[in-house]
Structure 1
Amino acid sequence: MSDPATHTPQTTDLAADLASDEVHELSQLSSSALSQRYQQSLLGVFGTPQRVLVRGAGCHVWDADGKQYLDLLGGIAVNTLGHANPLLTSVITSQLATLGHVSNFFTSPSQIALAEKLLEISGAPAGSKVFFANSGTEANEAALKLTRRNTGTPEAPRTKVIALEQAFHGRTLGALSLTHKEKYRAPFAPLPENVTWIPAGDIEALRAAVDQSVAAVFIEPIQGEAGVKMLSARYLQAAREITREAGALLVFDEVQTGMGRTGSFFASTPVIPDVMTLAKGLGGGFPIGAMIVFGEENCARLTPGDHGTTFGGNPMACAAGLAVIHTIESQNLLEAVKTNGTWLREQLSGIPGVSQVRGAGLLTAFELAEANAPKLVSVALDAGFIINATDENTIRLAPPLVITQEQLETFLTALPQLIANA
């Protein structure tokens, strides 16, 4: 019998033909026609797509009409290395040709290697461990289940969870229960958790809220969906001290801020929580989520059979995560992110119509003097720039970590006129 791992030119050609048969008709259509087909066949939870994108390279993408765009959103902080990164593409392709999926009955070298690397770069103490999922909301669901094991005693049960006002932790029911925005939660009430929200960044409010009845506190070090709202290092350290004193678990949601986005691998460094959740940039575009659990005592809270995932930690996703970390380290991207992010915010601060700028690394927000951010997104898109409005006043930028100052300069040069036209 022939070796099934052997790929002849004939089978390669057949695979290409099969793929092209599926998309050939659609690839001949305009963006407008494709958008209509989208609305006929996909559930409209995202509304109408702004464009139909067909190709990417580096920090640029192209739509079905051939128009080029500078991607300043990076798939919402996902495309760490840009689009079609040669190393990432090669690693994923090579892994798929070797071993693509094995289920959670087995493991693989790439899964073990990525777990060990995450423990290393997070400064995890001995006894810490990793759980892999497929997304940020899944990582937060796992964290929420783990924190439920911090039950307290029958005389003093721990039944509460503390989250921050303007927090966003995901859309599945458990993660949604932590998300602050009422319009996200209300249609799906009642939600499972007993959650109290407190003002973000207020140490005294945190101290007052965390007592013996609290099982866990969930914090985003930077609130990305809220408009890149910053929490100070002092606040994060105080959260660690307050939760430890009260016996509550501290969870840092670094889904958007992790993996070099802020110029450090993690925005919360050097504070060590009990649990950290990751996703987005970890796979550079390939779906993956992770929960890092710090310390033996916390790892013991979940035992075999308590949680699971079919696809989580599959060899391809873990190979992608390893490629992302390798590239960040080998190309010294953390320093580049710090330098370019600081320069970008300095330049934005001098642009007419910009009233405030904030951020860290290449996670940046700027507020407009007039409330027209959604219109600016549309005007910028027509001009070839992909940006995002988090509210009526605020624009968020989260470009690939490999973006250059020259590429950012094209946006900065165009921005005054874009604001004037919005």
Structure 2
Amino acid sequence: MPKSNIMDTYGRFDVIFKKGIGCKLYDDKGTEYMDFVSGVAVNCLGHSNPAIIEAITDQVQNEIQISNYYWNDKAVKLSNRLTDLSDHEAVFFCNSGTEAIEGGLKVARKYGKIKGGNKKNIIIYMDNSFHGRTMGALSVTGQKKYQEDFEPLIGGTTNAKFNDIEDIKSKINEDVCGIIIEPIQGEGGVVCADSAYLKGVKALCEKYDALLIFDEVQCGVGRTGSLFAYKKFDVIPDVICMAKGLGAGFPIGAVMTNKRASVLTHGDHGSTFGGNPLACAVGCAVLDELVDNKILDKVDDKSDYMVSKLKKLKEKYNIIEEIKGMGFLLGLKLSIDVSEFSKRCFEHKLLLITAGKDVIRILPPLNIEKEDIDKFIIKLEEVIKTF
């Protein structure tokens, strides 16, 4: 690789990608790779999607960014679409998932102050969770390895066991202003919450007048087979934090609140680039493709098709212990070193990344065709045979 002055914060693979089409990436030598990372659940429409190219091309000729002292029609349109498609009434736009989490935490803190004064400020978060790397998001991330070099973290947080309603009951009280949960823990190993557990947490939030925050940054925007992950679990959160797939590769994030949680007012929060016309134009194009052009309608069927193929591999090779997740947020729990497995996938021109200590994540674009799923399974089996 050429010398770079980029900070050494990532363990990068030895490759420079120059072009992408659909679920394929091409390096600077023209070598083709199958991309089942999708920018870590970002490129929901694959690479070089015509609808995204058209939205960017059209919008960049008119407005790219204006101050939030003024309205822009694309932000208004995107906010209306998101609220029309959800059970929520207000949207704040930002630029990333971590920023969305920060906004959600601020909503909970202000709600607590309104309802219970300065004492009602505790936010409960889950073991094994991952919410981002800024100081606020890091303070509610339940993995010590991400936190320890940056302590002391922000106070007023309490850790609870994921999928354990009794533990939540032992931690919650009148001083809690919010509970933050990933419906599917992506970074933590593709671990799904139980619907009954989430319903129990929702009931506790209502009992103690706290907000339920869903982190749908990775599992939202169609990953589960529904536009919002909460609809798969039949639990309506007060706050949704989203990003990644909302821009299909272009940076955008959003915090959505229901009537109960819509407490922010002038001066409470802001973002210089949040809600810029270009990002929101892309977000509108993404929803047009997923919803109006019915890409979402096919995700469950194609996911079932992929899982059926993965089950055959599991029966054939004992290194696959479990198939996890739903929709196109899937994981393979392996009995071998998953970092080594990911490296061998790369050597076979297949891009997959790890999740937790023993899971490989599978994150194809949502519009992938079954023909490419078949090709993926062939490549995956080639890698498995090397073990």
Q: Which residue of 2 aligns with 1:134?
A: 95
Give the Cα separation in 2 of the matches to 1:159 and 1:340. 43
| Alignment pair present for 1:191 and 2:191 | no
8 Å contact kept, 2:116–2:175: no
Within 5 Å, which residues of 2 pair with 1:211-226? 211-226=173-188
The CA distance in 1 between the partners of 2:48 and 2:86, in whole Å, is 27
Counterpart check, 1:153 vs 2:116: yes
The within-5 A match list for 1:252-331 is 252-269=214-231, 270-295=234-259, 297-299=260-262, 301-331=263-293
Q: Choose which of 139, 161, 164 in structure 2 pairs with 1:177.
A: 139
Q: Does residue 1:416 correspond to 2:381, yes or no?
A: yes
Q: Deviations over 1:301-338 (max 9, x none)?
A: 22211111100000010000000000012332222111
Superposed displacement of residue 226, structure 1: 0.8
Runs of 4+ in 1 over 4 A off after TM superposition: none
Matched, 1:61 2:25: yes
When the two chains are superposed, the root-mean-square deviation of aligned CA atoms in Å is 1.4
Give the partner amino acid of 2:160.
Answer: I
Report the Cα offset of residue 371 of structure 1. Answer: 2.2
Give how far 1:407 is off. 0.6
Partner residue of 2:322 out of 356, 381, 390 = 356
Cα distance per residue 1:40-81 (max 9 Å; x no partner) = x10111133442110011111101121101111110000011
Deviation, 1:238, is 1.6
Q: Distance in 1 between matches of 2:43 and 2:14?
A: 18
Which residue does the alignment assign to 2:167?
A: 205
Long gaps (5+) in structure 2: none
| Secondary structure, aligned partner of 2:3 | helix
Which of the numbers 324, 327, 332 marks the counterpart of 1:366?
332
Determine whether 1:107 maps to 2:71. yes
Cα separation, 2, equivalents of 1:59 and 1:178: 33
Match for residue 346 of structure 2 among 363, 376, 381: 381
SS at match of 2:2: helix
Query: Which whole-Å deviations, capped at 9, do the CAs of 1:279-314 have from their partners, x for residues lacking one?
Result: 00000100000000110x421x22211111100000
* Aligned-residue offset at 1:159: 2.9
2:52 aligns to what?
A: 88
CA shift for structure 1 position 272: 1.6
Percent of aligned positions that are identical: 36
What CA distance in whole angstroms lies between the structure 1 residues aligned with 2:168 and 2:357?
A: 29
**Greater C-alpha Rg:** 1
TM-score by length of 1: 0.87
User: Conserved in 2, the CA contact under 8 Å of 1:373 and 1:394?
Assistant: yes
Task: Say whether the 8 Å CA contact 2:38–2:365 is kept in structure 1.
Answer: yes
Matched, 1:77 2:38: no
3-state DSSP of counterpart to 2:61: helix
Q: Deviation of residue 413 (structure 1)?
A: 1.8
Supply the AA of the counterpart residue of 2:267.
G
Q: Which moved more, 1:140-149 or 1:280-289?
A: 140-149
User: How many corresponding residue pairs?
Assistant: 379
- Structure-1 separation of matches of 2:293 and 2:23: 16
What are the ranges of 5 or more consecutive residues in structure 1 without an aligned counterpart?
Answer: 1-34
